[in-house]
Amino acid sequence: MTNPTSGRSAIALDRRQFLARMGVGTAAIGLSGYLGQAAAQDAVTPSGTLIEGGPLEFDALAPIVESNRAVLYMFDPLTFTTPDGLQPQPNLAESWTWDETDNSYTFVLAEGAAFHDGTPVTAEDAKFTFDLLTNEATASPYYAIFAPRIAGSEVIDPQTFKLTLTGPIASFLNDMTGYSIGILPKHLLQDMDPASIVSSEFATTAPVGSGPYKLKEYRPGEALILEANVDYHRGVPPVQEVVIRLLGDSTIAYQQLITGEVDVAAISADFYEDAQNQSNFTPVIIDTFGLQFIGYNLDPATGAAPLQELAVRQAIAFGIDRDLIVERIYSGLGLVAPGTLGPATGCHAPDQITTVYTYDPDKSAALLDEAGWAPGDDGIRVKDGVRLSFELLGSATKKTDEGLILAIAEFLAEVGIEVVPRFEHESIWDYLLPKDFQAAAVSFTFAPDPDQSLAFLSTSGYNAWSYNNPEVDALLQEGIVTSDPDARTAVYVQSQNLILADLPVDVLFFDQRVTGVNNRVSGYVPSAVGYYWAIQYDAINWTVTE
């Protein structure tokens, strides 16, 4: 490599594995429950060991350069977000205020919060962390997400930290925890060249954070062993040791769930049915921030001509039996529901979505008849000499894409639409962004906030569909600056109805994952937020019985 010191740990966690590998338990507890619990636990002596199935390797163990479950155990962000409703809650910051006049947050840091080496966490550390994040030289994959939003930061006093944004951004606190921007210890890193932090011992093998767990031993390829931070400012975690076994493979993880060698692990859809018959662990379904849809290339220059017609896209939407697809191809793991915002997001309001497509092949055929597409000799419809045919792109490396695309092809053949399957080995985005596609099966993961500008704003870098509806743009921008949950929901109900009427993408279902949890574990909170924050949210509530 030209510059070995700046070698960036390119791949962060495998998010899909990571997403599926999260906290689980009974029902989500409210904030009051969490606070009460924390206070009650001061007298607890941690005991027992919880073993998680993890990825084959952790690319880094420090925030800013990486976000994974290990980072979440060891590093606390300023706030965390509740699993239900995505509401920011105090973490390292015990309180904060928002100043509209200069778009700034002022955080008051919790008394008694300290890094694992005993040094107190101060506003200096917070400023240092955000300076690193917004320094281009730090090889952070989150730089371009955060740098344009942060105008500056300031240490008011050792316990008070002010962060000025470039405008009102309702999703900011969620994003901060969503990308697990944990606070880094300035005293250990200040003399380091920002570019070399990613390959430093601190980031690769010897992290020091302020989270509920600290690193005891890292055995690459084997396990990451964490022990309870008994000085944790929010209470003593009841579980003495958390071990993340580095397994990677879903089959190994599953067999270890059966043998009890791991207590918590993601279960791949293949094993979901079998998992329901197991006695020593419980499969728990978790709604995620992922969305499976068909994305259309609406750029007339590069897209398929028939797909530019709204009637054709509507016919497709009515022509696909989503429930059957979820049941047969995804082992039932997927939620078919109206809208583009799933149940995991804060502004989920399926009852208010008025544009809904339910499977109705007759209606689908009627729409095509009406639009002038008449069945040709081979059953495929034709209009003005153009066959109603399009290419549907999928990933050759994703097992479910094959089933999905063939199923869609079969459903649409029924109503006289020809789907030509196309599979590519490269990342699907290598084809979507240069608009080298007509339609594609896309699994889109949003950050944990109801803002979906990433997919639907006309100027978004991910708007591969060339979607452009000024009304939707205006609503999405309004949503970003609206912090009142009800008002925000109302804005997003409007934008969803417009998007669904325009059909730049055809939502198939909301992704669900399943995690197996040994019956000896209790207090885990199952939630999409848990992918990122269950640890901060409830690490001080889990217990294990021997």
Partner 1 sequence: MGRYILRRLMMVPLLLLGVTTVTFIIVHLAPGSPLDDLRVTVPGITDEDLDRIARSLGLNEPIWRQYVNWISDVARGDLGLSLQNARPVRDQILERLPNTLLLTGLSMGIALLIAIPVGVIAAVRRNSLFDQIATIVSAIGAAVPSFWIGLLLILMFSVQASRWGWYAMPSSGMRPVTGDVTLWDRVQYLILPVTALAIGQVADTMRFVRAQMLEVLRLDYIRTARSKGMRERQVIVRHAFRNALLPLVTLIGLSLPQLIAGAAIVETIFSWPGLGQLTVSAANRHDYTMIMGTTIFIGLVTLLSTLLTDLVYAVIDPRITYK
Residues 167-196 that bind partner 1 (CB under 8 A): 179, 195
Asked whether 316 and 294 are in contact (CB, 8 A), the reply is yes
How far apart are the C-alpha atoms of 97 and 411, rounded to whole Å?
53
Sequence-distant (6+) residues with CB within 8 A of 118 are 231
Residues 387-406 that bind partner 1 (CB under 8 A): 397
User: By CB under 8 A, is residue 477 in contact with partner 1?
Assistant: no
Pairing of strands 79-81, 88-90: antiparallel
- C-alpha dihedral (492, 496, 497, 501), degrees to nearest 10: 150
User: By CB under 8 A, is residue 289 in contact with partner 1?
Assistant: yes
Sequence-distant (6+) residues with CB within 8 A of 84 are 28, 527, 529
- Least Å from the CB of residue 444 to partner 1: 8
User: By CB under 8 A, is residue 85 in contact with partner 1?
Assistant: no
User: By CB under 8 A, is residue 276 in contact with partner 1?
Assistant: no
What sign for the dihedral angle of Cα 146, 428, 60, 13?
positive
Count residues contacting partner 1 (CB under 8 A)?
Answer: 74
User: By CB under 8 A, is residue 422 in contact with partner 1?
Assistant: no
User: By CB under 8 A, is residue 255 in contact with partner 1?
Assistant: yes
Residues 224-253 that bind partner 1 (CB under 8 A): 225, 241, 243, 245-249, 252
Give the distance, in angstroms, between the CA of residue 475 and the centroid of all CA atoms in the same chain. 23
User: By CB under 8 A, is residue 427 in contact with partner 1?
Assistant: yes
User: By CB under 8 A, is residue 456 in contact with partner 1?
Assistant: no
Of the pair 14, 124, the CB lying nearest partner 1 is at 14
Of the pair 316, 455, the CB lying nearest partner 1 is at 455
Of the pair 288, 364, the CB lying nearest partner 1 is at 288
Residues 98-137 that bind partner 1 (CB under 8 A): 136
User: By CB under 8 A, is residue 282 in contact with partner 1?
Assistant: no
What sections of 296-436 are H helices per DSSP? 310-319, 322-329, 361-370, 399-414, 429-432
For residue 383, the tally of other CB atoms under 10 A from its CB is 17
Sequence-distant (6+) residues with CB within 8 A of 135 are 143, 194
User: By CB under 8 A, is residue 532 in contact with partner 1?
Assistant: no
Residues 306-325 that bind partner 1 (CB under 8 A): none
Stretch that binds partner 1, among 100-108, 141-149, 228-236, 301-309 (CB under 8 A): 141-149
- Least Å from the CB of residue 160 to partner 1: 30
Closest CA to 80 of 151, 162, 227, 181: 181
- Least Å from the CB of residue 462 to partner 1: 7
User: By CB under 8 A, is residue 14 in contact with partner 1?
Assistant: yes
For residue 167, the tally of other CB atoms under 10 A from its CB is 11
Of the pair 159, 527, the CB lying nearest partner 1 is at 527
Which residue in 35, 114, 145, 353 binds partner 1 (CB under 8 A)? 145
Residue 114 phi/psi, 5° resolution? -140, 155
